Amino acid sequence: MLIAASIARKIVATVGAVVGFVFVYETTIPDSRDTWPRAIAPLNAAPQPGTELEFSATAYCKGETTASGAEVRSGMAAADPALLPVGTVVRVSSRNVRYDGVWTVMDTGPAVQGRLIDLYMWSCHEALAFGRQPIRMTVLRLGWNPKNSAPSLIDSLFRGRERKRNVPQPRALASPLT
């Protein structure tokens, strides 16, 4: 009832609520990527699922289909197939948070050799403004095979628990015709 009695108190309460909401909205919440420091793999190391690597990134905007046969769209990248085969999924961390995220290698190119990744962007102006910049990249999956994925925390906990329990694997039943 104290706030309802005066318009000035209502305004002060409203402004206080808006300021409080803005502070809460702008708060950065740490996530699991920020809690564990990761070691960066040496330059001569081959990319493996779960490793963080330093790459150089450029951007491209031309083309209609990729080396995998898919039509181009944002979230796709081109890489050297000797290092990152088509189908590889990576998480990119760059200086500009706008380009951070998960990218899928769906293309190759004659100019994309070594530790260079080429990110597809719809706008050619944006691709030119991107230029060449150093990035950190974590390999989430190497190629198309899901078994080449980096083990998640849940997988390692549950698989480890099953190994410790030493649960026997079910045997296949013999066919009645044999």
Q: Tokens 């209502």 map to which residue? A: 10
Q: What is the pLDDT of residues 12-56, one digit of tens each?
A: 999 999 998 888 877 766 665 554 455 666 767 778 888 888 899
For CA atoms 150, 155, 156, 160, give the dihedral sign: negative
Token code pair at residue 175: 């066919």
CB atoms < 10 A from the CB of 17, how many? 10
Check if the beta carbon of residue 121 is closer than 8 Å to that of residue 108.
no
What secondary structure letter does DSSP report for 87?
Answer: T
Domain parsing of the chain, residue ranges? 1-30, 37-151
Residue 112 and residue 81 in contact, taking contact as beta carbons nearer than 8 Å: no
| pLDDT per residue as tens, the chain (178 positions) | 566 778 888 899 999 999 988 888 777 666 655 544 556 667 677 788 888 888 999 998 888 888 888 888 888 999 988 888 888 999 998 888 888 889 999 888 888 888 899 999 988 999 999 999 999 988 888 887 666 666 666 666 666 666 666 655 556 555 555 5
To the question of pTM greater than 0.85 for the whole model, the response is no
CATH of domain 37-151: 2.40.40.10
